[in-house]
Structure 1
């Protein structure tokens, strides 16, 4: 808007100058014919500005200017924008310890721990100054040994084979042991003299006759207590044992089961035997 006004004002001034020059030329030509030219008058005042002329055409778009250099981030500028971060400062002085806190409440009692391992056995201590071992006393006289009750025996068939023995007490003809003489060779029975607990054992040997069988019982006062049996072919033996609680006068012996189980034999390579002994007196 300001540029257009200047342009119109310039045109106006040019027109005024042209008008003045034309007037002077006209006056001069008239004076040249009839009079002498006078002294030029004082220039008049500038006229009022003329009206605005029509708007000119838009000029061509100017070229794009080059991009300016990038400025810094302005942190160090004087316009108040923060400057760049400075280097890290040194560590400050350690502060004074704070005051102790309030003591907390006592916690709940924990579970009992497991027992520890047993410690090593300590060394044997020595006698103190006030304790001294006393001197050995006089050796006492030898005491009398208590009387021990004894009863034991072993009887066998050796030189004579029992053969087909009858169903009756077996009379073993050879005595190996008979402590107390409580086994009677004539009857084949053991008779209890010392009440107590006894152990009895019997072994019977069978001959090699086909189909032969041996079955021997241990009897007490005529009652069957226990028995042993062998029915295998050839020479075979069988044995058994029993523990009995006897009183004085009890009798113990062996005898065949029956006449079908009495195929006995004996010799240098095998025996029939009957043994017993007192385990402890009552």
Structure 2
């Protein structure tokens, strides 16, 4: 490159030297500094010009068409599970372990002997009168027995004697005819309830009835008794008067 400048330097100096005094330019001939001008009969070549500035970027071109899908590649080799993280094959199930000694159910025991069934004590009676208008001042003797479980009622005395302690229900039913009735239920000689029915003259007959629940201990006695000798308790072949009692619940 330096040798090229040495060759061009004399030419440059000669082309830029001032014209001789009195010299005149040929009419119609223009100067062409720095280059060989064809119109002047050929001069020396000028210095190369500088590179011009970059032009503006051109517009984007259109998108090309999608290419066709290529054929699938060959299947790769199975990687190492320890390196590649692939899931390994499942292992064989282990054997069932033995039961531990603690917590093991024992052998069933032998069946026991049947126990004794609890038995409900029984005590109940119903008795009727065989004759009307019983005597006053003493227990009414209901002497026709219908039921007498345990024989706790005595028809010869008209008294019930408790054998099984508990709650008992006693009830009286009597036909009333020709006179009123005042009947008392007594426990060990004390009046615990009173039953009354008045006689209405001209009526064929009325009835009196009533009941009581008593708590009895073993040995307690219960009976019915009328206050007046002229009482209207009546019986006939087709009419009954009765006294009943039974154990509700034992203690």
- TM-score, reference length from structure 2: 0.51
Offset of 1:169 from its aligned partner?
Answer: 0.3
Find the partner of 2:229 among 225, 235, 259: 259
Distance 2:232 2:170 in 1: 22
Rg bigger for which structure?
1
The yes-or-no answer on 1:250 pairing with 2:217 is no
Q: What is the count of residue pairs matched by the alignment?
A: 139
Paired position in structure 2 for 1:55: none
Offset of 1:247 from its aligned partner?
Answer: 0.4
Paired position in structure 2 for 1:149: 121
The yes-or-no answer on 1:272 pairing with 2:241 is yes
Unaligned segments of structure 2, at least 5 residues: 1-109
Distance 1:144 1:223 in 2: 40
**Cα distance change on mapping 1:166 and 1:257 into 2, 3 Å:** closer
Find the partner of 1:237 among 189, 197, 207: 207
- Where 2:167 maps in the other structure, the secondary structure is strand
Unaligned segments of structure 1, at least 5 residues: 1-137
Q: State the 4+ residue runs in structure 1 displaced beyond 3 angstroms.
A: 138-144
| Offset from partner CA, 1:162-205 (integer Å, 9 cap, x none) | 32532210011100000111001111000011111101001121
Contact kept, 8 Å, 1:214 with 1:230, in 2: the verdict is yes
Paired position in structure 2 for 1:223: 190
Contact kept, 8 Å, 2:174 with 2:242, in 1: the verdict is yes
Distance 1:201 1:278 in 2: 12
Paired position in structure 1 for 2:27: none
Distance 1:248 1:142 in 2: 31
- TM-score, reference length from structure 1: 0.46
Offset of 1:215 from its aligned partner?
Answer: 1.6
- Where 2:234 maps in the other structure, the secondary structure is coil
Offset of 1:273 from its aligned partner?
Answer: 0.6
- Where 1:176 maps in the other structure, the secondary structure is strand
Find the partner of 1:199 among 163, 169, 188: 169
Distance 2:126 2:165 in 1: 19
**Cα distance change on mapping 1:193 and 1:164 into 2, 3 Å:** closer
The yes-or-no answer on 1:190 pairing with 2:160 is yes
| Offset from partner CA, 1:229-279 (integer Å, 9 cap, x none) | 11132311110000000001100000102234x122112332111100111
Distance 1:258 1:223 in 2: 17
